[in-house]
Structure 1
Amino acid sequence: MSRHLFWLSDEAGLAIEPHLPHGKAGKPRVDDRTVISGILHVLKTGCRWRDVPAAYGPPTTIYNRYNRWSQRRIWQRLFEKVAASGPVPKELSIDSSHVKAHRSAAGSKRGSMKKRSVAHGAAGRARSTAWPTIAADRSPSP
């Protein structure tokens, strides 16, 4: 199974390390390179966060770090700094073929739009026949 895991190269890890936030005092953090490899694995394969292989660390750690860094715009700053420093390593390049869209992202559900009859105009009433005219024709004559 380990042959199918994605690992950030040493070169790429050293390039982004100065731009990552430093840990706080307390419980030792899971290595950033390992967690980033896990995040890229999720983005590349489209698997659920809880299905991340254990080699990358706890799934909650991987998801929380991704989410917190997204909220703090660390990913944005990281990609800007790496892009400004020269060509982006292939391991860090993510395009639309790597990120899976949720099935509801494709558009609205089929048949969810209310279909209108051709006979209905903008006011929503039938234009083909006037009911009062027909009713008047069928009424008994005095």
Structure 2
Amino acid sequence: MSRRDLTAAQWAALEPLLPVGEKPGRPPGIRWRTHTGAPWREVPARYGEWETVYGLFRRWQRDGTWTRILKDLRAGADAEGLITWDVSVDSTITRAHRHAAGARKRGICR
């Protein structure tokens, strides 16, 4: 098991959320690839053919599996009080029109 693989505890939390009817066991290589950001063709051979890993990832993306898993994990974490929903707005990312910053308007001299 590499450091990029899921631990047994992480897998136990994720396994019930995976689609029914798929092959039993861990989805091959998807976690490794998304963690590393490597091209699909560089998925290690121990996870199987890269085309198979990519095909499973895309199928779950198209049918909404990833969205549902994220929603379910988020709901569970929220129910356990593991998420703080505080929002902080930093004014350094808020853009104002240049005239709001005191820029000179056309035709008006000061």
- TM-score over 0.5 for the pair: yes
2:79 paired with 1:81? no
For residue 101 of structure 2, what is the aligned residue in structure 1?
Answer: none
Q: How high is the TM-score relative to the length of structure 2? A: 0.61
1: distance between equivalents of 2:15 and 2:24?
14
Identity %: 33
Aligned partners of 2:4 and 2:35 also within 8 Å: no
Q: How many residues align?
A: 79
| Preserved CA contact (<8 Å) 1:50 1:59 | yes
Q: 1:30 Cα deviation (Å)?
A: 6.9
Task: Name the CA distance, whole Å, in 1 between partners of 2:41 and 2:18.
Answer: 24
Question: Which residue does 1:16 correspond to in 2?
Answer: 14
Q: 1:20, 1:84 → 2: CA distance?
A: 16
How far residue 40 of structure 1 moved from its aligned partner, in angstroms, is 2.2
Which amino acid counterpart does residue 76 of structure 2 have in structure 1? S
Which structure would you say has the larger Rg? 1
Q: Counterparts of 2:24 and 2:39 in 1: how far apart (Å)?
A: 20
In the alignment, structure 1 segments of 5+ residues that lack a partner are 89-142
Q: Deviations over 1:86-131 (max 9, x none)?
A: 148xxxxxxxxxxxxxxxxxxxxxxxxxxxxxxxxxxxxxxxxxxx
Structure 2 segments unaligned to the other structure (5+ residues): 84-110
Give, in whole Å, the separation in 2 of the partners of 1:30 and 1:53: 20
* Equivalent position to 2:32, from 41, 44, 67: 41
Cα deviation, residue 83, structure 1: 1.2
Contact 1:42 1:49 in 2 (8 A): yes
Displaced runs of 4 or more, over 3 A = none
